[in-house]
Structure 1
Amino acid sequence: MSDIPRLLAALAEPTRLRAMQIVWRGGEHCVCDLMCALDATQSRMSRHMGVLKAAGLVVDRRDAQWVRYRRNPDIPAAVIRIVDAVLAAVEKPRRRAA
């Protein structure tokens, strides 16, 4: 999980970043819920979640025909700090230049 470029590349795509905002808060999230929240097709959402899984940020569990995702409980503290910083930067309201 120390592949920082892979981590940042996974977070750089807007849909994946928005998915991480949802998953990072905790709990388990069905891909169907993420699809609705992010206005994405099942195949597109699954592809994005696969990238986040490959980066070690999420883990999944099959539940009948759907897959449920949650934050990887084994993420190193340094990576948690990076993701927290990225998400905090995105969530801050942007100031307009005067």
Structure 2
Amino acid sequence: MQDIVAILAAMAEPTRLAAMRLLWDGDEHCVCELMRRIDASQSRMSRHMGALKSAGLVVDRRDAQWVRYRVNPALPPATRAIVEAVMAALPLANREAA
């Protein structure tokens, strides 16, 4: 139960939800792209990505001066189902904006 609360809490913040929406396409995205598409500063984006990483939802990879993020490929099936349900519940306009 605690894991579910941590996952939902991580995704409850609008910037983190927007980042997950972008990452949910299955691709890897650099933090610079996330910053640009979400209109967030580097420090704000890093803080929010750290929260998603702590919740186990994303993994990162350093590529020279960039950090690239993607959905954690090792998400347990129950966690993946929770995230899928959240993504499906987003209004269609919000899903297309990502």
TM-score after normalising by structure 2: 0.89
RMSD: 1.2
SS in 1 for 2:37: helix
Over the matched positions of the two proteins, sequence identity in percent amounts to 66
Q: Provide the rounded CA distance (Å) in 2 between the counterparts of 1:58 and 1:38.
A: 17
Structure 1 residues without counterparts, runs of 5 or longer: 94-98
- Counterpart in 2 of 1:59? 59
Structure 2 residues without counterparts, runs of 5 or longer: 94-98
Letter of the structure 2 residue corresponding to residue 18 of structure 1: A
Q: Which has the higher helix share?
A: 2
Q: Who wins on radius of gyration, i.e. which is larger?
A: 1
- Counterpart in 2 of 1:89? 89
TM-score after normalising by structure 1: 0.89
Alignment of 1:1-98 (within 5 A): 3-92=3-92
**CA pair 31-58 structure 1, distance change in 2 beyond 3 A:** same
Letter of the structure 1 residue corresponding to residue 55 of structure 2: A
- Hey, which bits of structure 1, 4+ residues long, moved more than 2 A? none
